[in-house]
Amino acid sequence: MASGAGSNFESLVRACRLGHLAASVELLVVNRADCGARGRAERLGVPNELLDHHFHPTRENLDRALITAFKGKAVDLVVMAGWMRIVTPVLIEAFPQRLLNIHPSLLPSFRGLDAVGQALAAGVCLSGCTAHLVAAEVDSGQILVQAAVPVLAGDNRTSLAARIQVQEHRILPLAVALAAARLESSGIEGQQR
Which are the catalytic amino acids? 103
Distance CA 180, CA 136 (A): 21
Q: Is 29 helix (H, G, I), strand (E, B) or coil?
A: strand
Q: What is the DSSP code (8-state) at residue 192?
A: T
Do 50 and 33 touch, CB atoms closer than 8 A? Answer: yes
Q: What is the DSSP code (8-state) at residue 103?
A: E
Which class for 174: exposed (0-12), middle (13-18), buried (19 or more C-beta within 10 A)?
Answer: middle
Distance CA 46, CA 14 (A): 11
Residue 100 identity (one-letter amino acid): L
